[in-house]
Amino acid sequence: MSFLKKMQSALGTGKPPAVTCPYCNATLDIEPDRKRKCPECGKTIHPKRLHNEEQKRFVTDEEAARTDAANEEHHRRKRVADLEQRLKDAQKSKNRYEEAVAHALIEAEAGNVDRAWGYYNQALKETMKGNQMGMYRCTKFDMSMLLKQEGRHKNAPVLLSEVCYLDYCEYHGLTTPVFAPGVLGEIRLAMKRSGTDMTAFRETFISMTQQVSAVKTRHPPIQAWQALETALRELDSRPKGAA
C-alpha cells in the first residue's frame, strides 16, 4: 500500500476497507459490486447482504446460496404476516370481498390452489351482489395470475378476455389507453403458452364476452374484439425491448 493510500485509509477518506477473498484470503484492491472471480484463486466471490444486515459481505458460492434462501424465507414470512393482517382488518370491518381475497392470497401463497380458487369465486360473488365491476375485473385478473403461477395457462385467455372486455367498456371513448400494457403482455404470454392463436382467441373472446354483456353492458363484443386485436398486433409490431 502506498503512503498516500495508507493515509487515506487511516483518515477514513479513501476507498472502503480492502476486501478479502473468502476462499484464499487474498486481499483485493477493488470492492466487487457484482459476483466476480478472485484474480488469485479463480473462484467466484459474491457480494451478499442478509435481510437484517446493513453492509454487504463477500462470500463463497455456498454461503451465497444460504443467504439467498434465508432472504427468500424472510420475505415469504413477511408476505404471510402482511396477508394475515389484511385478513384480520377485513374481518374487523366486515368487508366480505376483501376477506375472501385475503383468504385466496393466503392459500395461494401456501400452494393450496383449489382452496384459493374457491375463495376467489366467493370474492366474485361478493362483487356481483353490489355490481362492483371494477373489483370483479381485478379478481378475474388475479385468478389469471394464479393460473400462471401454477403453469396452467390453458384457461387464462378466458379470464383475460373478460378483463379486457370490461376495460373496453370502462375506458371506451376516453383518452386514456383502453387496455393496460401489463394485461396485453399477459394475454400474449398466455396465448403463446397455451397454444392459442388469434383466431382461437377471437372465438374465446366473443363467446366469453357475450355472457358478460348480458350482465353488464351494451357494448357489442365484436367492437371490443376489434380494439383488442389492434392493440395486440401493435404490441407484436413493436421492436423488442421498447416499452
Residues in the site for Zn ion, rule: CB under 5 A?
Answer: 21, 23-24, 26, 38, 40-41
Supply the minimum distance, in Å, between the C-beta of residue 35 and Zn ion.
13
DSSP per-residue letters across 159-185: HHHHHHHHHHHHHTTSSS-SS-HHHHH
| DSSP class of 53 | -
Q: Between residues 22 and 221, which has the closer beta carbon with respect to Zn ion?
A: 22
DSSP per-residue letters across 99-114: HHHHHHHHHHHTT-HH
Question: Rounded to whole angstroms, how far apart are CA atoms 169 and 99?
Answer: 27
Supply the minimum distance, in Å, between the C-beta of residue 25 and Zn ion.
7
Q: Between residues 38 and 158, which has the closer beta carbon with respect to Zn ion?
A: 38
Q: What are the C-alpha distances in Å from 47 to residues 21, 73, 155? A: 11, 19, 42
Q: Between residues 7 and 30, which has the closer beta carbon with respect to Zn ion?
A: 30
Q: Between residues 19 and 87, which has the closer beta carbon with respect to Zn ion?
A: 19
Output b/e per residue, 117-133; b: 16+ Cβ within 10 A. Answer: bebbebbbebbeeeeeb
Supply the minimum distance, in Å, between the C-beta of residue 180 and Zn ion.
48
Supply the minimum distance, in Å, between the C-beta of residue 45 and Zn ion.
7
Supply the minimum distance, in Å, between the C-beta of residue 16 and Zn ion.
18
Q: Between residues 26 and 180, which has the closer beta carbon with respect to Zn ion?
A: 26
